[in-house]
Amino acid sequence: MLKGHQSWVFRNEPKIIAKATVVGPFEGRGPLADDFDIIHGDSTIGQDSWEKAEKTILEEAAKLAIENAGLTKEQVNFYVGGDLMNQIISNSFAARTLTIPYLGVFGACSTSMESLALASYIVDSGGAKHVLAGTCSHNSSAEKQFRYPTEYGSQKPPTAQFTVTGAGAALVSHEGKGPVVTSATIGRVIDMGIKDPFNMGAAMAPAAVDTIQAHFRDLQIEPGYYDLIVTGDLAKVGYEIACDLFDKHKVPMHQTTYADCGMMIYDYNTQMVQSGGSGCGCSAVVTYGHLLNRMRRGALKRILVVATGALLSPLSFQQGESIPGIAHAVSIESRE
Report pLDDT digits (tens) over 280-304: 999 999 999 999 999 999 999 999 9
Instruction: Output the DSSP codes for 255-313.
Output: GSEEEEHHHHSS-TTTS--TT-EESHHHHHHIIIIIIHHHHHTTS-SEEEEEEEEE---
Domains and CATH numbers, the chain: 2-173 (3.40.47.40), 180-333 (3.40.47.40)
Mean pLDDT for the stretch of residues 244-267: 98
pTM here is 0.96
> What pLDDT score does 277 carry?
96
Q: How confident is the model at residue 336 (pLDDT cuts 50, 70, 90)?
A: confident
Report pLDDT digits (tens) over 201-212: 999 999 999 999
Q: Could you give phi then psi for residue 309, rounded to 5 degrees?
A: -140, 145
